[in-house]
Amino acid sequence: MNLLDYLPGVPDFPKPGILFRDISPLLANPGAFKEATLQLEALTQHFDYSHILGIESRGFIFGTAIAYQTHKGLALARKPNKLPLASHRESYGLEYGSDSLEIAQSTLPAGSRVLIVDDVLATGGTIIAASKLLKKAGFEVAGAITLLEIDGLNGGEVLTQNGITNKSVLIA
């Protein structure tokens, strides 16, 4: 099964020059979704980790499935102002603007080694922010996995330069 068949590109979204990859068709197809989660789960074998961090919002989907399959705890990196509890925050730049991620201070036990999960790796900014957020909260970053790395944006190289090991199912 070619998972790229279920990840159509939407040119010039959210702004000119950006190719948005829509994961909706993959999620809507049970076989494609199962295959994607199995391939992501296989990537987890490259890492020593105790917990998973899913990045809002599509990282929640894959992070949940992988946490279930691997019997690991799941934490969520939320967009700003979604958490009622005391939280840590990290701001970052995107290809088309800026944003922030938050994690509740009481989410993970001390000493957790956390694997970051997201759907798409573009320039690396979101995963770097998640890594900084985890470190700020006192946790270790085991690495990151993504379903798709967008070729030509050098996100994987940027993560490596920032000390983050990353594995992706697809590069396109």
CB 94 within 8 A of CB 125: yes
Out of 58, 78, 90, 149, the active site residue is: 58
Tell me the two tokens of residue 60.
């929640």
Whether 95 is a known active-site residue: answer: yes
CB-CB contact of 142 with 115 (8 Å) = yes
The residues, ordered by sequence, that sit 6+ positions from 47 with a Cβ below 8 Å of its Cβ are 115, 142, 143, 145, 165
Active site residue 58: yes
Nearest C-alpha neighbor of 131 from the set 119, 123, 121, 139:
139
Torsion, Cα of 129, 132, 137, 140 (10° steps) = 120
Catalytic residue among 41, 89, 95, 140: 95
How many whole angstroms separate alpha carbon 5 and alpha carbon 26?
Answer: 8
Positions marked catalytic = 58, 95
